[in-house]
Amino acid sequence: MKVSRLTIVVTLMGLVAACADTQNNPKQTIGTLLGAGAGALLGSNVGGGKGKLAAVAIGALGGAYLGSEIGKSLDYVDRLKAGEAEQTALESNRAGVATSWRNPDTGNSGRVTPKPATQLASGEFCRDYEHEIVVEGRTEVAKGTACRQPNGKWRVIN
């Protein structure tokens, strides 16, 4: 039992450290978290007992690192184009209809696919969405929720 608790603590410390290093780049943070989740999922399919828990921890840390690297490799223009695509898709697209973006200088690209809008009790409209990002041939999919602000812009809430 001591080994499993230590493994969990080390994993959480690694994820917190990875997120702390990504404060100025939200895509890097998203990549870190998605990578950690995917790595943990893969690790959960390896071994059994204490070995399985260690595989989850190793998978989460490895996935966090790889996801962070993908997010970090998006330059300013990539993030600008991705943000514009998110705004367009959320504001103008029907559910399931994607808006694509591509930076010809880096070759990075993506597509944003919104889900149906829902209205909160406060009157605010929100939409879930998926943002597929392709960097150097590697694809990550970020899922999030955004709400429409009074100024017409969509703000990502998670």
Classify the C-alpha dihedral 37-41-43-48 as positive or negative. positive
96: three-class secondary structure by DSSP: coil
| pLDDT tens, residue by residue, 98-114 | 999 999 999 999 999 99
Confidence of residue 158 (pLDDT cuts 50, 70, 90): confident
Mean pLDDT along residues 135-148: 92
Q: Could you tell me which residue, 53 or 103, shows the higher pLDDT?
A: 103
Name which of 102, 109, 113, 107 is nearest 134 in CA terms.
Answer: 109
Mean pLDDT along residues 95-100: 98
**pLDDT given at position 12:** 46
Q: Structure pTM?
A: 0.56
Classify the C-alpha dihedral 84-67-33-116 as positive or negative. positive
